[in-house]
Amino acid sequence: MSFQELGSLGEFIAAIATVATLLYLSAQIRQTNLITKAQFGHGLTHRLYERFFHTAKDQEFAEFIGKDWASEDINSVDKSRITFFTIMLLVDVFDVYDKVQQGLVEKKHLDMRVHMLRTGIFRSPTGERVWKFWKNLREAEFADWFEKNIVDPSTTAEFVKRMQEENPELYNELKGDHEKSENSFFRVD
C-alpha cells in the first residue's frame, strides 16, 4: 500500500469519526434539551405545589383565598393582598406562556394555570384593574389569548358547562342558581 493510499484511508477514517462525533454531539444536545425542559417543568410544578401547600397549611391564608374577592366589604389590607396575589398569578402566566411559546415546557403547564384562573380572579374588580394595568406590557397576541381564555365569561361558562357534564358530582354547587352557592371561589358571572 502506498503512502497516498494510506493517506486516503486515514482521511476516510477521519471523516467517519467526524460524522460519528457529530451524531454523538447531536444526541447529547437533544438529551440536554430534554433535561432542561424537565427542569423548567419541575420548577413550574413546584410553584403550584408551594401555593397549594401554603393554602392547606396556613389557615389565615386559606381564609383569605376563600373570600369573595368581588365583595364590597373587603378591607384595604385584603385589597392590597388581593392585588399582589393577582399580580403574582399574572406574572406566573406571563412566564409560563413565554416558555411554552419558546418550546421550553409542555403546554400542560399553561393549561393547569388557565384551568385555575378561570375561577374568576381576573373578573373580580381588583383582577380587572390589575389586568388592565399589566396588559399594556405584553404583545397583542398574548393579550388576545389571555382575554379569550381567562377573562371572557362566555369561555368560562362553556368550560363550566362541559366540566359539569363530565363531572356532575364535583359541581353540584354550581347547578341551578350559582348565586345561592356557598362556593365563592369559582365565579361564572
pLDDT digits over 108-118, tens only?
999 989 988 88
The answer to whether the Cα torsion of 162, 168, 174, 177 is positive or negative is positive
Question: pLDDT tens across 20-50, in order?
Answer: 999 999 999 989 888 888 887 888 888 888 8
pLDDT at residue 38, rounded to an integer? 81
User: How much is the pLDDT for 180?
Assistant: 47
pTM recorded for the entire structure: 0.69
Break the chain into its structural domains and give their ranges: 3-180
pLDDT of residue 46: 87
- The parts of the chain modelled with pLDDT lower than 70 are 170-189
Cell numbers linked to 26: 447531536
pLDDT value at residue 143:
95
C-alpha to C-alpha distances, 103 to 38, 107, 110, nearest whole angstrom: 12, 9, 12
Contacts of 36 (CB under 8 A, 6+ apart): 104
